[in-house]
Chain A
Amino acid sequence: MVGGERIMVTLKELPLEDYIVSGHRMCAGCGSAIAARMALKAAGPNTIVVNATGCLEVATTIYPYTSWRVPWIHVAFENAAAVASGIEVAIKVLTRKNLMKQQPNIIAFGGDGGTFDIGIQALSGALERGHRFLYICYDNEAYMNTGIQRSSATPLGAATTTSPSGRVIPGKKEWKKDLIGIAVAHSIPYAATACISYWSDYINKVKKALNFNGPTVIHVLSPCQLGWRFDPSETIKIGRLAVQTRIFPIYEVEYGKYKLNINVTKPLPVIEYIKVQGRFRHLLEPQNSHIIKDIQENVNLQWSRLLKLCSIG
């Protein structure tokens, strides 16, 4: 099969079993834990997981405990895609030599630091070589594992411990990197954004991605209560606001063809998203109002560009 038709799954059809189980030490209300748990529910037990160094890796495998019920390997921070490449070719050749019968899915998980920054070269190499695997970037928009340092996925204006809001500089000065744009530039079969708050869209995208005979990328927004500074109970709400303000559009690109999956026809102003997170608190001060204006303008611009790519409007 070359392409995946959308296999819509309802909550009641999802397996009872978890393949990443309780007892892990991700923070209470962690969005990334939700992202991993949903992905594994979609993929099922016939899956090998490669995990880049990061929150998900450390908090789920504190020796002698592991939360994983699928074969799992962590090697280093920047090389999850390269490790996955080796696994994929090994399966190919061992199958050819009749030394292996299983044909497992391969999912590589990397945070935004392990994907946008230090892992981008290994990811690019693996995408170019065309290995059959799914790369899931769980994006919590900073290096959360090491204590909230800025990454190239951190949005403009956000305060982190290395892009603090100071007397002179009001948080991060640069826009967020376009990961899916980079992935699509490799002419891979499938790339998509998702947000944990839209479970159906995300889970079905994982299922769909695993059906392609080639590399696929899912960029899933995973709000972080600790780094974004909101109440742990609000994780899903914050993700929903990111989508409903059009700050994080939900779309997919199949063989180069863009499709908007969630059309936000009545967007909320970005301030609704900004004002509920501590990392943006300084933007509410009068001297920084122009930054909010810039963010809104950029969101409008990016949205209209996306609509064009999707041949809408």
Chain B
Amino acid sequence: MRVIGLTGDEAVAYAVKQCDVDVIAAYPITPQTIIVERISDFVANGEINAEYVCVESEHSALSACIGASAMGARVFTATASQGLALMHEILYIASSLRLPIVMAVVNRALSAPINIHGDHSDMMGSRDCGWIQIYTENAQEAYDITIQAFKIAENPTTSLPVTVNLDGFIISHSMERVEILDDDDVKRFLPHRSPLYRLDVENPITIGPLCFTDYYFEFKRQQAEAIEGSYKTIMNVMNEYSKVSGRNYKFIDTYGIEDAEILIICMGSTCGTARFTAKRLRERGEKVGIIKVSLYRPFPCEEVIEAIKNAEVLVVMDRAVSFGAPSGPLCSDIKNVLYDFGLKIKILNIIYGLGGRDVSQNDIEQAFKLGFKLKLGDIKDKVLWLGVRE
């Protein structure tokens, strides 16, 4: 174990190197570029025994990953924003074919207008694609989760692709202190993949046939079961990794929930700002708390319910818009879970930080204040846009 200074992108690239990846197929896009540049360096210098395919588009990046994964290789790609949108068609195919692929998504706003900065619109636009989706808070988590993602994806009962989400620029380009595992520890944690099935001339199978109305439905049911069944795999991997690294990973992370009246629920880099602000407010005696949702798909319903059940008001912060929907994507999930568990807790949905708009401690304080106002019945809005000019 040693400590080095890395940006979030560099931390991901470093993890990929240690994971002895076989094939990387990727197309450069801001703010993901550092990942592919570093990996290219590793390959060019012989520091990693892998093939890097400089594809001509993200669509082909993921398509090449599917081909390589179907051969039984360990496969990585990375993208952001428009790149993820261009992959959209293939995202669904990767998960339907149950092919393990790890993809770093350096979350960035979607056009138009074109914007290169961080928000969650890209991944949220593809949240139903059948991939396991994990959001990270900082470079350390981006590093740790990348290593764990391979083990989750390649678990034979799970066998699904995984995205590792890190906020564009805020995580991807900020230099941080990152604790790095020894190469041998990673090797022991992550032995080479044994695929469920592969393209093999000695055992020729057909992958990706045509299914009509008589079978398609059954395969979707089977796929739903696969991602729902992945909770156990993810938990086991997180527990095992915690032992190797000494850093504790869970589906959600909480702060102050024991007695909090107002809880902020958020994802990604905002969680750090929110936790810091909540600490200061608690020092002043305010009963506030934070829930960081790390595992977004499959959604950790039971863990979330357990954490929120005693709160009076939930402030759910969405860094993405679901246009025309009753609330943002994360808030919709929370409301759904509340209903299922028969809980009626007041909810305020806050849309914030679109296109990389900065989120300060003041903004978080403001969000808590709005939560208190909702508690007192002083506001009627269900969705508020924080930090936008009127």
Contact = CB atoms under 8 A, between A and B. Distances in A.
B36 interface: no
B49 A93 contact: yes
Interface in A233-292: none
A124 interface: yes
Interface residues of A, number: 50
Nearest to A104: B201
A86 B64 contact: yes
A1 to B, nearest CB: 20
Contacts of B97: 75
Contacts of A47: 201
B209 A75 contact: no
Given A62-B210, A90-B22, A70 B93 contact: no
B215 A63 contact: yes
B201 A90 contact: no
A46 B204 CA distance: 10
Contact of A50 (B25, B67, B202): B67
B66 A83 contact: yes
Contact of A90 (B72, B209, B210): B72
B201 A45 contact: yes
A184 interface: no
A180 interface: no
Interface stretch (A94-102, A201-209, A217-225): A94-102
A32 interface: no
A74 B209 contact: yes
Given A94-B22, A102-B201, A86 B210 contact: no
B49 A82 contact: no
A200 interface: no
A66 to B, nearest CB: 4
A71 B204 contact: yes
A72 B209 CA distance: 9
Contacts of A63: 209-212, 214-215
A226 interface: no
A84 B68 CA distance: 9
B22 A86 contact: no
Interface in B46-77: 49-51, 53-57, 59-61, 63-73, 75
B200 interface: yes
A89 B23 contact: yes
A12 B206 CA distance: 29
A187 interface: no
Contacts of A46: 201
A272 B286 CA distance: 90
B93 A76 contact: yes
Contact of B209 (A48, A66, A91): A66
A58 B211 CA distance: 9
Contacts of A50: 67
Interface in A89-131: 89-94, 96-97, 99-100, 102, 104, 121-122, 124-126, 128-129
B138 to A, nearest CB: 32
A64 interface: yes
A46 B202 CA distance: 8
Contacts of B205: 71-72
Contacts of B54: 129
B68 A89 contact: yes
B139 interface: no
Contact of A125 (B49, B56, B75, B214): B56
A307 interface: no
B114 interface: no
Interface in B124-181: none
B206 A85 contact: no
Contacts of B75: 86, 90
Contacts of B68: 86-87, 89-90
Contacts of A90: 22-23, 51, 67-69, 71-73, 75
A124 B199 contact: no
A89 B201 contact: no
A30 B71 CA distance: 31
Given A63-B210, A125-B55, A86 B67 contact: yes
A74 B53 contact: no
Contacts of B203: 71
Contact of B59 (A58, A78, A93): A78
B316 to A, nearest CB: 35
Contacts of B93: 75-76
A86 B201 contact: no
A230 interface: no
Contacts of A75: 63, 66-67, 90, 93, 97, 208
A57 B210 contact: yes
A69 interface: yes
B325 interface: no
Given A57-B210, A63-B210, A92 B51 contact: yes
Given A68-B204, A71-B200, A87-B199, A93 B23 contact: yes
Contacts of B204: 45, 68-72
Contact of B55 (A85, A99, A102): A85
A186 to B, nearest CB: 12
A82 B51 contact: no
A125 B22 contact: no
Given A82-B55, A89-B23, A90-B73, 13 more contacts: A47-B201, A71-B204, A75-B97, A86-B70, A89-B51, A89-B64, A89-B68, A94-B73, A97-B22, A99-B192, A102-B201, A122-B57, A124-B56
28 contacts: A45-B201, A48-B201, A58-B210, A70-B204, A73-B208, A75-B66, A75-B67, A75-B97, A76-B90, A82-B60, A82-B63, A83-B66, A85-B53, A85-B63, A86-B63, A86-B64, A86-B65, A86-B66, A86-B71, A87-B71, A89-B25, A90-B51, A91-B71, A92-B51, A94-B22, A99-B72, A102-B202, A129-B55
Interface of B: 22-23, 25, 49-51, 53-57, 59-61, 63-73, 75, 89-90, 93, 97, 192, 199-212, 214-215
Those 6 A-B pairs whose CB atoms lie nearest each other, nearest first? A86-B67, A125-B56, A86-B64, A61-B209, A82-B60, A90-B71
